[in-house]
Amino acid sequence: MADRINVFVRKVPVWALYILYLLPVPWLLWQAQTGGLGREPIKALEHELGEIALQLLIFGLAITPLRQYLGINLIRFRRMFGLLAFIYVTLHLLVWLVLDVGVLSQIWADILKRPYITIGMLAFVLLTPLAMTSNNWSVRRLGPGWRKLHRLVYAAVLLGGLHFVMLTKTYEAEPLLYMAAILGLLALRLPHLRRKQTV
């Protein structure tokens, strides 16, 4: 089963997935303009973009456990998931900055005063150097440091999940499910890490 998936996956060109995964952007903008996102499209658009970003980060997080536990190798898509996640986080942030808050003084006040925004911002800051170094040149250049740097993604995903949990009026199922997925995928790495340390 895993072998068959691996054979199939090798045939899927990465660029095709990039295009497929960027299609929601024009689609969402179209929906926002034509009422498909409801009567208040700004918040809805912001939310959709943020949620897609979180999903992509979770996919990226799932790649190593999928290989370790099920033998499914999706490693060639990992950079794509990371970069797409960064694109969606950036769009999510832009919608918040430009369409939602708009006022510069209030943006700064929000970042400092509202913990869920501080946390979301921090996640974005952590992801930025990862996106900047997601090229072959940086991988060669940074050597073993590249792996270390890219462990920041664990913190960024946790903060992203927390950001989602904190912004709802009360504890709702959806953000808690995302958080559970993130914690689960991070927990799957623990035995592996421990083994490495004892060896």
Q: Residue numbers of the site for another protein (CB under 8 A)?
A: 32-33, 38-43, 45, 99, 101-103, 106, 109-110, 114-116, 166-173
Helix, strand, or coil (residue 12)? coil
User: With contact defined as beta carbons under 8 Å apart, do 168 and 72 qualify?
Assistant: no
Helix axes 41-70 and 173-187, enclosed angle (nearest 10): 30
Rounded Cα gap, residues 110 and 113, in angstroms: 5
Nearer to another protein, 78 or 114 (CB): 114
Query: Minimum CB separation from another protein for residue 9, in Å?
Result: 35
Helix, strand, or coil (residue 168)? coil
Nearer to another protein, 16 or 173 (CB): 173
Inter-CA distances, 102 with 13, 97, 115, 199, Å: 39, 6, 19, 53
Query: Minimum CB separation from another protein for residue 183, in Å?
Result: 20
Query: Minimum CB separation from another protein for residue 150, in Å?
Result: 32
User: With contact defined as beta carbons under 8 Å apart, do 52 and 24 qualify?
Assistant: yes
Nearer to another protein, 42 or 181 (CB): 42
Tokens representing residue 131 in the block: 């996106």
Nearer to another protein, 33 or 135 (CB): 33
Query: Minimum CB separation from another protein for residue 157, in Å?
Result: 22
Nearer to another protein, 16 or 40 (CB): 40
User: With contact defined as beta carbons under 8 Å apart, do 53 and 127 qualify?
Assistant: no
Query: Minimum CB separation from another protein for residue 110, in Å?
Result: 7
Dihedral sign of CA atoms 21, 45, 57, 173 in order = negative
Query: Minimum CB separation from another protein for residue 172, in Å?
Result: 6
Nearer to another protein, 127 or 163 (CB): 163
Rg of the chain over CA atoms, in angstroms?
Answer: 18
Rounded Cα gap, residues 49 and 55, in angstroms: 10
